[in-house]
Amino acid sequence: MKLYDSRRAPNPRRVRWFMAEKGIEDIEVVDIDIFGGQHRTSEYLAKAGLPNVPALEMDDGRTITESVAICRYLEALYPEPNLFGEDPCESAVIEMWTRRAEMMVATPLMMLVRHSHPALAAIETQLPEIAAANRAMAEKGLKMLDRSLADSEFIACERLTIADILAATGLDFARMARFRPDPELVNVKRWLEGMMARPAAKAGV
Ligand SMILES: N[C@@H](CCC(=O)N[C@@H](CS)C(=O)NCC(=O)O)C(=O)O
């Protein structure tokens, strides 16, 4: 299999972090230069179907995109440690937090960076009002995370899951826009420090 990756991009980093937590080392990682437009070439589009990284080319030649879908596929192939849920109830709770982490924290933070960092002007028509609205959305999402993390070391249950990886990669990327969680969110602070201290945090950066 081949993973089409792009250094410093937050969505491929989710997959790299996920692979590192599972100790997956037998997937070839191919770097795609998104600032040079390599993800827009006809060769890449023929494989991925859209100009986005990450993409995973499977052994039979088919390619899937969407970081969470790729992680879900890898979970089936490399089940340990479990990061998506051991039983129906746990899987549903992890799915709930995965969607919240993505929709209420990670995506707004990525939009904030996309619409405010000068380097991203190369791939986005930047609108300050979109940056501001997404910053506000992420701040609200982080308050919700902080309440949940008061009772738990990790976001979805008492161990690391895919939900933690989505929120942590989004927050780390947002440092490009000088975004830091409100220091009063002490549970988010403790959780994020723990996440960034994991060896897997170094994967794909
Ligand atoms: N929902 C997709 C998002 C993929 C995505 O937006 N990737 C960014 C890099 S983080 C990208 O390829 N951007 C290229 C562009 O916007 O031109 C996923 O989770 O994989």
Pocket of ligand 1 (CB under 6 A): 9-11, 34, 39, 51-54, 65-67, 123
Assess whether pLDDT exceeds 80 at residue 45: yes
| Domain around 185 | 88-198
Instruction: Judge contact between 22 and 78, C-beta under 8 A.
Output: yes
| Tens digits of residue pLDDT in 83-118 | 999 999 999 999 999 999 999 999 999 999 999 999
| Tens digits of residue pLDDT in 146-194 | 999 999 999 999 999 999 999 999 999 999 999 999 999 999 999 999 9
What's the angle, vertex CA 118, arms to CA 31 and CA 167, rounded to 5?
Answer: 60
Distance (angstroms) between ligand 1 centre and the Cα of 181 equals: 23
| Tens digits of residue pLDDT in 109-130 | 999 999 999 999 988 999 999 9
Give me the CATH number covering residue 52. Answer: 3.40.30.10
Alpha-carbon distance of 38 to 34, in angstroms, equals 6
* Helix H or strand E encompassing 116: none
- Which of 77, 108, 140 delimits the end of a domain? 77
Backbone angles phi, psi at 3, to 5 degrees: -105, 120
Residue tagged 């879908």 (tokens):
69
Distance (angstroms) between ligand 1 centre and the Cα of 22 equals: 23
Instruction: Judge contact between 151 and 145, C-beta under 8 A.
Output: no
Assess whether pLDDT exceeds 80 at residue 204: no
Share of the chain above pLDDT 90, in %: 96
